[in-house]
Chain A
Amino acid sequence: MHWLSCPGTIGPRMSGRRWVFALAVAVSLGAFWSQQYALNRYDLNLPIPEWLWVQLAVGWAFLLAGFASHTRRPDSATGRWMIALGLIWIGRLVFTPPLIQWESIGLGVAFYGLLFVILYTFPSGRLSGWERWAIPIYLMVVAVLSYVDVALTDFYGWVVDNQVCCPSHLLLIEDNPELRNRLASYSAVGAALVFLAIVVSFLARWRRATTVGRRDVGPLVLVLLPLLLMMVLIPGINAFVDGFASFPFPDPAANRLTLYLQNGALVLVPVVIFWQLVGTRLSRAKVADLVRDLSDSGTPDELDSRLRTTLGDPEALLVFRREEDGDYVGVDGRSLSANVFNDKAVSPIGDRVSIVHDPAVDADLVSAAGNAARLAITNARLQAELKAQLIEVRESRLRLVTATDDARRRVERDLHDGAQQRLVALAATLSKAQENETTDNPVLRSLLADAAGEAQLAMEDLRNLARGVHPAILSQAGLGPAIATLADLSRIPISSEVSAERYSDAIEVTVYFVIAEAVSNANKHSEATQIDIVIQRRGGELTISVEDNGVGDADAQGSGLRGLRDRISALGGKFTVDSPIGKGTHISASVPPDTASGVT
């Protein structure tokens, strides 16, 4: 069968497995032989009973699932537990009634103990801490009780034609129903407590588990509940309800139903574990899909989402370590916050590339997906680095522009607060001097008047200079008033439609200078008689339009317009100039207002 030919398990382990397999076959044949021997010995003219087939099937379900798990997940002990379980299950069939009751030799207890261990430790299969001593002690206690139970009871014989047909079983000490029932009541209470403890520990485990972990454990929880009901509660009820104690039931149909219910509940366990394996197998198919998808389109932005689908982990993430600074960046080039690594496993899959994923995701699957996607990932990494560099360049360009704006603002303030104040004081002093000038010296008087006039002119120059460096009203009152003043100072009439909204400094300054430059160009070159300015928010964007009715033919590559284009693109915006000869000039730009930080 195919689990034997699975890749990755060759050499000595293979032959070990072959021995175990041979042993299981031998033991199965032994069970048949023992059964046949018993039938012959007591001269029962009956076929091999149905329950033997059913129970052999259950045992083999565990064996096959165990082999498959061991192949698929050699890191987990669950596979080995299941193989052992299957062997014990089949083994006890050799000690068949009516020769020896199988419960009596402890194999049954070992079986349920192991079953519990498998469920409890799935998927690692390992016991830890207090479990290492608590679980064996529990198993021993139950084994002793089970032995006492059998040794005190003689109703486990075969029923043929409503008669117990055969002699008492070999381990019987004394048929003492009273003592047995008392013991059974105690053990039923104990069983109920243990049952509760198991349920509580599973719920605790469920709460602690990650999303992916829950997907592993979830189906097992569902299996565990009916199983515990069948195996723990039914014997418990058995002890209290008289009618139940007369198992096997007189009615063959009820016997049959019980047989299938109990074994069906049992067989669910290997089936579910096998189902989990098939799930992983499907994931392997998804890896193939991943390869195909990536070679189809291969856009790195989709890598994360494809990886998530493949791994079945909604938070899986590809990360790249940047060469320059060792920082981790995502597929899109963004820096990652430290908390994406919280409670996650990081599996390196190549040079400076890792997959961050839920620790519960199958490690083989991660590396398979990593291998499959390596080429696309390398490509994505290059693109991510390129993108990161682009973002860095954009950000640094924006920082430069912002720094320039800030510097201009400071210069404007310094001019007003420093030089202008001194000029005002100077003018006032000169004026006082004129008033107090009593020498009647015409030369001196005219010199003072000249000086006062020069001081006035200097103040005016200074004011215009400061305004050109940075119009204070822009940061104080926004684009509307600033553009109204532009319209005061223009030679060509301007009609403007400006929304009263405020934007970030970077956007307002950029938009203002674009418009100021466009208006100044129109005044100098266009011979227009009208300029229309519209600033509005359209969709998510801030759009700017400056249109004149002049001669057109503006040089879009000239330093002025190119500077505007640079400024707009520093904000991640678009800039176009449309200036056909004789048909006016239309400058339009758009800026995404939410990207004032310059990151697109």
Chain B
Amino acid sequence: MRVVIAEDSVLLREGMARLLSDEGIEVIAQVDNADAFKSRVKADPPDVSIVDVRMPPDHNVAGLVAATQLRSEMPDFRVLILSQYVEPHYALELLETGADGVGYLLKERIGTPSQFIEKLKVVAQGGTAIDPDVVSQLFGRPRRDDPLSLLTERERGVLAAMAEGKTNAAISDSLFMSEKTVESHVRNIFMKLDLHSDPDTNRRVLAVLRWLRQ
């Protein structure tokens, strides 16, 4: 797997690069600003990129902007956004460009390298990875006549896992239930929340996140 890292903090950039090479992942380039990142990716597309949301030149959301631009220009561009912020807005903005091969994780996930690398691989393979903190913030959003209260504890767990971008297989692994059970939970959830069911796991993420944010 070939990776480009775009991160302006030397500490984290080098740390991540070491982490990845320890796991046998090839870091083909490290850049510290959005412009260099764009040209580097266009010159030699990696399997997946890790991009800091905030970067030079504007120290604003240049990383996110560059990532969404590249996604519209290059259909196979896969990117894991690293963010300081628990902001569903950014995750949604990213997902609007298509849900396959994108991730939005808090930077602190680097602190648990094994999970971080696992998510990176999901994204590299075209899956979706949304930070659990982002999902749980959305779950915590107060709602009038909260429809989430119609869900059972189990169903809420499945919904959260869907929001994180997990496939049915991944959900069945993490929640210790059969895929058949997961499927029936998913059906129930969609019915109870009045959501249009979508067989595509990645598009499902967007639908669920949008529902949670409305």
Contacts and interface: CB of A to CB of B under 8 A. Distances in A.
Tell me, yes or no, whether A binds B: yes
Interface of A: 413, 416-417, 420-428, 430-432, 435, 452, 455-456, 459-460, 463, 466-467, 472-473, 475-477, 481, 484-485, 487-494, 529-530
Contacts of B88: 484-485, 488
Nearest to B133: A460
24 contacts: A416-B84, A421-B11, A421-B107, A422-B11, A424-B108, A428-B19, A430-B111, A431-B113, A452-B111, A452-B112, A456-B108, A456-B111, A463-B106, A472-B54, A473-B85, A477-B61, A481-B87, A485-B137, A487-B141, A488-B140, A488-B213, A490-B142, A492-B142, A493-B143
B154 interface: no
Given A425-B15, A473-B85, A530 B144 contact: yes
Top 8 closest A-B pairs, CB basis?
A: A427-B111, A481-B89, A459-B108, A416-B84, A493-B142, A488-B141, A421-B9, A476-B61
Contacts of B85: 463, 467, 472-473
B169 interface: no
Given A473-B89, A476-B61, A488-B88, A424 B140 contact: no
A427 B54 CA distance: 21
B60 A475 contact: yes
Nearest to A490: B142
A431 B111 contact: yes
Interface residues of B, number: 32
B12 A484 contact: no
B145 to A, nearest CB: 9
B9 A484 contact: no
Nearest to A529: B144
Interface string B43-87: 000000000001000011100000000000000000000001111
A485 B89 contact: yes
Contacts of B15: 424-425, 428
Contact of A491 (B60, B112, B142): B142
A164 B59 CA distance: 107
Interface of B: 9, 11-12, 15, 19, 54, 59-61, 84-90, 106-108, 110-114, 137-138, 140-144, 213
Contacts of A487: 141-142
B84 A472 contact: yes
Contact of B113 (A428, A459, A490): A428
Contact of B107 (A420, A435, A475, A489): A420
B140 A417 contact: no
A431 B89 contact: no
A474 to B, nearest CB: 11
A494 B143 CA distance: 8
Contacts of B114: 431, 435
A427 B114 CA distance: 12
Contacts of B112: 427, 431, 452
Contact of A423 (B19, B54, B59, B108): B108
Q: Per DSSP, are chain A's interface residues mostly helix, strand or loop, or mixed?
A: helix
Question: Which of B87, B137, B213 counts the most chain A CB atoms within 10 A?
Answer: B87
A473 B54 CA distance: 11
A59 to B, nearest CB: 84
B80 to A, nearest CB: 15
Contacts of B89: 473, 477, 481, 484-485
A377 to B, nearest CB: 51
A467 B19 CA distance: 29
Contacts of A467: 85
A417 B87 contact: no
A425 B11 contact: yes
Contacts of A492: 142
Contacts of B138: 488
A459 to B, nearest CB: 4
A425 B12 contact: yes
A425 B7 CA distance: 14
A421 B110 CA distance: 10
A258 B113 CA distance: 114
Given A428-B19, A472-B84, A473-B90, 12 more contacts: A416-B84, A422-B11, A425-B11, A428-B15, A428-B113, A431-B112, A431-B113, A472-B54, A475-B60, A476-B61, A481-B87, A489-B140
A490 B138 CA distance: 11
A493 B112 CA distance: 34
A427 B110 contact: yes
Contacts of A460: 108
A413 B113 contact: no
Contacts of B106: 463
Contacts of B113: 428, 431-432
B129 to A, nearest CB: 17
Contacts of B12: 421, 424-425
Contacts of B59: 413
Contacts of B144: 493, 529-530
Contacts of B111: 423-424, 426-428, 430-431, 452, 455-456, 459
A496 to B, nearest CB: 12
Contact of B60 (A422, A456, A476): A476
Nearest to B213: A484
Contacts of B110: 424, 427-428
Contacts of A476: 60-61
A473 to B, nearest CB: 5
A485 B138 CA distance: 9
Nearest to A480: B89
B73 to A, nearest CB: 22
A427 B85 CA distance: 18
B156 to A, nearest CB: 17
Contacts of A472: 54, 84-85
Contacts of B142: 487, 490-494
A485 B108 contact: no
A422 B108 CA distance: 10
B64 to A, nearest CB: 9
A489 to B, nearest CB: 7
A180 to B, nearest CB: 92
Contacts of A488: 88, 137-138, 140-141, 213
B9 A473 contact: no
Contacts of B86: 463, 485
A233 to B, nearest CB: 76
Contacts of B143: 493
A24 B56 CA distance: 92
Contacts of A490: 142
A481 B64 CA distance: 15
A485 B141 CA distance: 9
A454 to B, nearest CB: 11
Question: Which of B61, B108, B138, B143 counts the most chain A CB atoms within 10 A?
Answer: B108
A459 B85 CA distance: 11
A529 to B, nearest CB: 8
